Amino acid sequence: MNIKHDKEKVISTGLNLICSKGYNNLGIDEICKTTGMTKGAFYNAFKSKEQFLLVAINAYGEMMVSHLTEQLEHNQSKAIDRIAAMYDDMFDRQPNNNYTGCMINNLMSELGVTNQLVSEATANEFDNFLSVIEPIVIEAQKDGDFDPSISSAAITELLHSTFYGALTRAKSTREYNHGKQTMTLLINSLRSI
Amino acid sequence: MNIKHDKEKVISTGLNLICSKGYNNLGIDEICKTTGMTKGAFYNAFKSKEQFLLVAINAYGEMMVSHLTEQLEHNQSKAIDRIAAMYDDMFDRQPNNNYTGCMINNLMSELGVTNQLVSEATANEFDNFLSVIEPIVIEAQKDGDFDPSISSAAITELLHSTFYGALTRAKSTREYNHGKQTMTLLINSLRSI
DNA sequence: TTATTTGTACCGACCGTTCTGTTTGCTTAT
DNA sequence: ATAAGCAAACAGAACGGTCGGTACAAATAA
């Protein structure tokens, strides 16, 4: 049961490739070559390219959930500020990531219409992200920073949808300040009084 | 000099195919077969698949600009309501379009990182859309519905970024009411007083 | 041994593109 | 009017390359 090129490595490498090149534009050969594994090992570990994608989506989702959780965890600053800082940080990372954006958002867009399994998986991961953010939104409502009469789920969805829209735009402009400003304006508009 | 399969038809057909299948997942053969033309005719009209895409982006952009202009043109209702109605209408169309979303948004996501020409073209079309919407935002500011102290460009960008984010999400959930509610919440949050 | 994992050659299908040859419709000379 | 000449438009077979996936023997573990 010794796997030379363990799944972990292929997944994390392939994940980055999918992020930057997209799914249809990425070949198995390139995944293998980049990882340093061979096709035999790849197809021994995954039954198809699609299944590999589903595994990668899952891994990416878990990664992001723990990243978001960490970013949002309680510290000295207020909930609304932690939310703002999290989105700011996400945009700040884009230049270093060559503006690859978010894998989930990219795949929803590329395969949402044509691949049922992928669209279900990405929709599911999106919901996972919302589940991490919503408690902090509720906290901000309790702080009186967000209007408590508005559904916390609706606010959370608005926040993350806007984030994804601005992130997609950043991919083509290769510029992240507009995105940061857009998120800031949104959060300020949601601020009660 | 008579062109049997005039460009117009190929472009409008191919445009819809790109919208629903994406660029990398769509072959010239399928474009030709769907349009009823042959490869000879296709490559006589376009020098490459990429050039065809650029032409299609342009055609789609013009189509959307005139559509948006029409939707937003002055009528009995207030500017802010026309904006809200436009986004509502856009979501209402999604089920009929099989949740293909917006071609510009899709291409920004799929090719933004890997294709310079396409990312420039899509960024340009996005700006064109903003140019159509911003005057109506200014009108809403004059009506006192949007805060006039906020940059109209920033408000417009926030509106359309959120729209794109929610549209992408709709692709994977195949459901458009969340998107409509998100846009409504955003517009109400932007409403002054 | 026996079972599992790896490396590599290979398959058929499909890709974007180019090719050759044919049709088409306009121009021009008669 | 009509026929020759011509260039653009068309049809669709063919090309080299790449794709996802498989076959199978060698290597490695149990």
Closest C-alpha to A111, from B168, B50, B181: B168
User: What are the beta bridge partners of residue B146?
Assistant: B191
For chain B, the domain total comes to: 1
Q: Flag whether pLDDT at B1 surpasses 50.
A: no
CA distance B45 to chain A (A): 25
Instruction: Name the band, by pLDDT with cuts 50, 70 and 90, for residue B4.
Output: low
The owner of tokens 């992001």 is A64
Q: Determine which of B30, B150, B168, B173 to mutate to test the interface with A (most A C-beta atoms within 10 Å).
A: B168
For residue B168, what are its two tokens?
Answer: 């992408």
Distances (CA, A) of B148 to A126, A168, A188, A190, B133: 34, 28, 15, 17, 16
A104-135 confidence digits (pLDDT tens): 999 999 999 999 999 999 999 999 999 999 99
pLDDT at A45: 87
pLDDT at A97: 93
A30-68 confidence digits (pLDDT tens): 999 998 888 888 898 899 999 999 999 999 999 999 999
Q: Flag whether pLDDT at B176 surpasses 50.
A: yes
Closest C-alpha to A35, from A18, A47, A22, A51: A18
- Report d(CA B113, CA A101) in Å as an integer: 9
Q: Which nucleotides of chain C have an atom under 7 angstroms from any protein CB?
A: 4-10, 14-21, 24-26
- Helix, coil or strand: residue B191: strand
Inside any domain, residue B62 = yes
- Report d(CA B163, CA A132) in Å as an integer: 22
Chain A residues within an 8 Å CB radius of B169: 108, 123, 126, 161, 164
- Cβ atoms of B118 and B107 closer than 8 Å: yes
pLDDT at B7: 75
Q: Flag whether pLDDT at B130 surpasses 90.
A: yes
State the average pLDDT over residues B166-189: 97
pLDDT at A42: 87
Instruction: Name the band, by pLDDT with cuts 50, 70 and 90, for residue A1.
Output: very low
Chain B residues within an 8 Å CB radius of A178: 157
Q: Flag whether pLDDT at A101 surpasses 50.
A: yes
Cβ burial, residue A74 (10 Å; 0-12/13-18/19+): exposed
- Could you tell me which chain A residue has the CA closest to the CA of B164? A165
- Report d(CA A186, CA A163) in Å as an integer: 10
For residue A28, what are its two tokens?
Answer: 């198995």
Closest C-alpha to B129, from B107, B104, B106: B104
Instruction: Please give the helix or strand (H or E) that residue B99 lies within, else none.
Output: none
Inside any domain, residue B180 = yes
CA distance B117 to chain A (A): 10
The C1' atom of C21 and the CA atom of B40 lie apart, in whole Å, by 12
The C1' atom of C7 and the CA atom of A120 lie apart, in whole Å, by 35
Instruction: Kindly report the length of chain B.
Output: 193
The owner of tokens 């507009």 is A178
pLDDT at A2: 46
Inside any domain, residue A49 = no
Inside any domain, residue A29 = no
CB atoms closer than 10 angstroms to residue B177: 11
CATH code of the domain in which A61 resides:
1.10.357.10
Inside any domain, residue A25 = no
| Prediction ipTM score | 0.92
Average pLDDT in chain A: 93
Inside any domain, residue B101 = yes
Instruction: Name the band, by pLDDT with cuts 50, 70 and 90, for residue A5.
Output: low
CA angle A166, A172, A173 (to 5 degrees): 80
State the average pLDDT over residues B26-31: 92
What range defines the domain where residue B135 resides? 57-190
- Report d(CA B35, CA A187) in Å as an integer: 47
- Report d(CA B73, CA B76) in Å as an integer: 10
- Cβ atoms of B68 and B135 closer than 8 Å: no
Inside any domain, residue A39 = no
Q: Which nucleotide does the CA of B49 lie closest to, via C1'?
A: C16
Closest C-alpha to B187, from A154, A130, A152, A143: A154
For residue A19, what are its two tokens?
Answer: 């992020």
Highest mean pLDDT among A3-12, A71-80, B119-128: B119-128
| Helix, strand, coil percentages, rounded to 5, for chain A | 75, 0, 25
Strand C-contacting residues in A 17-76, CB cut-off 7 angstroms: 37-41, 44-45
Q: Which nucleotide does the CA of B36 lie closest to, via C1'?
A: D11
Q: Which nucleotide does the CA of B28 lie closest to, via C1'?
A: C16
Cβ burial, residue B29 (10 Å; 0-12/13-18/19+): exposed
Q: Chain B window 102-141: which residues touch A at a Cβ cutoff of 8 Å?
A: 105-106, 108-114, 118-120, 122-123, 126
pLDDT at A10: 87
B71 to chain A, any CB pair closer than 8 A? The answer is: no
For residue A33, what are its two tokens?
Answer: 């070559």
For residue B182, what are its two tokens?
Answer: 């998100």
Q: Flag whether pLDDT at B192 surpasses 90.
A: no
Cβ-defined contact of A112 to B171 (cutoff 8 Å):
yes
Inside any domain, residue B39 = no
Crossing angle of the two packed helices B177-190 and B152-173, in degrees rounded to 10:
160
Cβ burial, residue B112 (10 Å; 0-12/13-18/19+): buried
